[in-house]
Structure 1
Amino acid sequence: MSNHFSLALGIGTQNLAGDWLEVYYPNPILHPEPALVAVFAEQLGYTGGNQAIALSTSQCAALGKALRDAGFAEPGALAEQLQHSSRPLVVTLLETDDAPITTPGAYLKLHLLSHRLVKPHEVVLAGLFPLLPNVAWTNQGAIDIQELPQRQLQARLRGEDLQVFSVDKFPIMTNYVVPTGVRIADTARVRLGAYIGEGTTVMHEGFINFNAGTAGTSMVEGRISAGVFVGKGSDLGGGCSTMGTLSGGGNIVISVGEGCLIGANAGIGIPLGDRCTVEAGLYITAGLKVALLDEHDNQIGIVKARELANQPDLLFRRNSQTGAIECKTNKSAIALNEMLHAHN
């Protein structure tokens, strides 16, 4: 078989009509070997393309043996484990990184992000939302919204409480994957499809959407919206701290450089370069007019904020007397950078 984008064995949940509600992939594979894909093709009759193939427990047993015989011990062991499942099974094969066309395919792409196999904006997610059903996430798993009242009644008749934690298209990331080296104070505030870099701490009020996240050591105390990717914190700067809102969405790519500080109740609508600071309470949108200041705080021009995108060592602030938005060189960041270069 030709080179493929991704492959995964999954166990999921379906509604009474047989529609997929969610899928859990314990070990998704990015760019699987052609020989591995060939084993799946031979066992399941796969002939190419992007497909989600339902799998029976007997097929799992045969697939596991075939994988082991071909020298693929890890996926073989997983297939053999899945043969004991009481829930529906699926094999999802993505030959190309095109827009997802099935719910299992959409879930695989979210898993690739949270497993750190791809970074935000490195995978095509166009058309994702319609493929994700709005689900009641409960202590008994995912339940179709239309089937929820009957499930609640059945639980009460058994003397049980059916707890509904949320009603949403996206599940909690940590119910599917917990990346190494992270701290998350409130797991309900991080969606599957978030990319959480090693060394990141997400505080109680922090929120990270899908196709967004942090590259490395960061302190998240605010909201990181879809489309935003935060760079690593500097060695001496205590990491990149986000206490405000970082907004992306649509086709907008909002990146945040290394060693940045987004103050409390602040937010950005433009990408920041390294070591930038946005004053608490200040929201920087792309069309916002910003006064440029020299080292003596004299105004030297006015530009739209988008013209300052990706520039390093900037301090954005609001003039307390005039209310004007100002930008000047972030001297403390420059001093820190000079120290780092001297140290290296």
Structure 2
Amino acid sequence: MKNFPLIGIGITTIGKAGATLDASFPYILFLNGESKLDKYFEKLNGLMENDLMQIDDPNLLDIDDGDFNSTLRNLGKNKVLVLCRMSENKPIKNIEEAYLKLHLISYKFFLPNSLNLENLFDNLVNVAWTNQGPVEINEIEKEILHSKKNNQPFEIKSVDKFPPLTDYIVPPGVRIADTRRVRLGAYLSEGTTVMHEGFVNFNAGTLGPAMIEGRISAGVVVGKNSDLGGGCSTMGTLSGGNNIKISIGENCLLGANSGLGIPIGDNCIIEAGLYITGGSKVTKFSQDNEPDSIVKASELAGKDNLLFIRNSQNGVIEARINPKSVALNETLHKN
């Protein structure tokens, strides 16, 4: 993992009303970093009087790298080159910092839940995400009419504060069947497969190879070699008063249409259709497979080797010792 201070070299999109709509950061430099551009950190840091700086002439950066210079020259008329510096992990002050922090997670420089995302929603702008980039909401109808008049393709992928991840970053070794269902700020490790019904929110993701056919809500992390079955759900922390960060350990399985409202450890299984919240009453079984006690599910948070099922005869939720080990199909995760 990386650390502060850092400087993002970004390209922002300016709307017709003059407001910044988004920011892409193809280059992020770290003090004492090991990438080929990190050696320029001190030079750029010396240029900056403030933490956010507009660069009118790319030559001012004086970076001797052909790929870098060709990327940042001849920007479009609504594009602006910026430097955004972060010295500490503080609350977000502007849209550029918001996008830079989302990039830091999706580049996997920082783990989910490790960055201060206070004020994130306040600084992001709700726009239409199209095949021609972000468009202001009040300009959408004009753009639609213009495209029809000129017979030009114009696709609105979503109307949201968060863009699709792959409009900015394509993580290596990952498959995403429907790219609209993974937001910028998602953390996807190599070997992850996100199927059509899978969804990954910002500040959430996978820590190793995983099969995702369900929902990874904001703040949720999934351990390596775990499988989230079709239509399953994990409880997030953005609304509803839940402040418990949900995590799924390694080698776990969430059955189809199941739900999880507590953290679970390694080698756990939740049967299909079973939704467990912290207050769910669970009959806990002993190592001898005998009923032991009745507890709240929250008391089993983080425990390894548990099999959660609902007794089909009396409807009681049971937590038994899990005798099985979940194994992903390696062929499906050679991405």
**Same fold flag (TM > 0.5):** yes
2:310·2:317 contact (CA, 8 Å) conserved in 1? yes
How big is each residue's C-alpha offset from its partner over 1:101-132, in whole Å with a ceiling of 9 and x where there is no partner? 11111001111111111110111111111111
Q: Does 2:310 align with 1:318?
A: yes
Aligned to 1:279: 271
Q: Does 2:206 align with 1:253?
A: no
Aligned to 1:108: 100
Supply the AA of the counterpart residue of 1:47. E
Cα distance, 1:27 vs structure 2? 2.3
Aligned to 1:237: none
Supply the AA of the counterpart residue of 1:322. N
- Could you tell me which of 143, 149, 156 is aligned with 2:141? 149
Q: CA RMSD in A?
A: 2.1
1:227·1:254 contact (CA, 8 Å) conserved in 2? yes
Alignment of 1:183-262 (within 5 A): 183-233=175-225, 240-243=226-229, 244-250=232-238, 251-262=243-254
Supply the AA of the counterpart residue of 2:172. T
2:284·2:320 contact (CA, 8 Å) conserved in 1? yes
Aligned to 2:49: 47
How big is each residue's C-alpha offset from its partner over 1:77-102, in whole Å with a ceiling of 9 and x where there is no partner? 52553132122221111111111111
Aligned to 2:21: 21
Supply the AA of the counterpart residue of 1:104. E
Cα distance, 1:319 vs structure 2? 0.8
1:247·1:254 contact (CA, 8 Å) conserved in 2? yes
Seen in structure 2, the aligned counterparts of structure 1 residues 303 and 29 have a Cα distance that, compared at 3 Å, is farther
1:24·1:176 contact (CA, 8 Å) conserved in 2? yes
1:23·1:107 contact (CA, 8 Å) conserved in 2? yes
Seen in structure 2, the aligned counterparts of structure 1 residues 134 and 27 have a Cα distance that, compared at 3 Å, is same
- Could you tell me which of 61, 70, 74 is aligned with 2:59? 61
Cα distance, 1:18 vs structure 2? 2.1
Cα distance, 1:17 vs structure 2? 2.7
Please, which runs of 5 or more residues in structure 2 have no aligned partner? 328-335
Q: SS state of the match for residue 272, structure 1?
A: coil
1:52·1:102 contact (CA, 8 Å) conserved in 2? no
Q: Distance in 1 between matches of 2:148 and 2:317?
A: 58
Seen in structure 2, the aligned counterparts of structure 1 residues 180 and 161 have a Cα distance that, compared at 3 Å, is closer
1:6·1:32 contact (CA, 8 Å) conserved in 2? no
Aligned to 1:301: 293
Deviates more, 1:305-314 or 1:11-20: 11-20
Cα distance, 1:32 vs structure 2? 5.7
1:30·1:117 contact (CA, 8 Å) conserved in 2? no
Q: Distance in 1 between matches of 2:148 and 2:32?
A: 46
Q: Distance in 2 between matches of 1:134 and 1:319?
A: 46
Seen in structure 2, the aligned counterparts of structure 1 residues 32 and 16 have a Cα distance that, compared at 3 Å, is farther
Aligned to 2:88: 96
Q: SS state of the match for residue 180, structure 2?
A: helix
Aligned to 2:331: none
How big is each residue's C-alpha offset from its partner over 1:292-330, in whole Å with a ceiling of 9 and x where there is no partner? 122454321111111101100001110111111110111
How many residues in Structure 1 have an aligned counterpart in Structure 2? 313
How big is each residue's C-alpha offset from its partner over 1:220-274, in whole Å with a ceiling of 9 and x where there is no partner? 11111111000111xxxxxx10011122224431111100000000011111100
Q: Distance in 1 between matches of 2:291 and 2:268?
A: 19
How big is each residue's C-alpha offset from its partner over 1:24-79, in whole Å with a ceiling of 9 and x where there is no partner? 11122345669734312433xx235xx322221x2x1121x2x33xxxx4xx8525
Seen in structure 2, the aligned counterparts of structure 1 residues 253 and 5 have a Cα distance that, compared at 3 Å, is farther
Q: SS state of the match for residue 172, structure 2?
A: coil
1:4·1:32 contact (CA, 8 Å) conserved in 2? no
1:256·1:272 contact (CA, 8 Å) conserved in 2? yes
2:130·2:154 contact (CA, 8 Å) conserved in 1? yes
Please, which runs of 5 or more residues in structure 1 have no aligned partner? 234-239, 337-344
Q: SS state of the match for residue 26, structure 2?
A: coil
Q: Distance in 2 between matches of 1:190 and 1:325?
A: 32
How big is each residue's C-alpha offset from its partner over 1:121-161, in whole Å with a ceiling of 9 and x where there is no partner? 11111111111111101121100101222222333333324
How big is each residue's C-alpha offset from its partner over 1:271-296, in whole Å with a ceiling of 9 and x where there is no partner? 11000000110111111111112245
Cα distance, 1:204 vs structure 2? 1.2
Aligned to 2:166: 174
Deviates more, 1:176-185 or 1:287-296: 287-296
1:11·1:24 contact (CA, 8 Å) conserved in 2? yes
- Could you tell me which of 256, 268, 271 is aligned with 1:264? 256
2:233·2:257 contact (CA, 8 Å) conserved in 1? yes
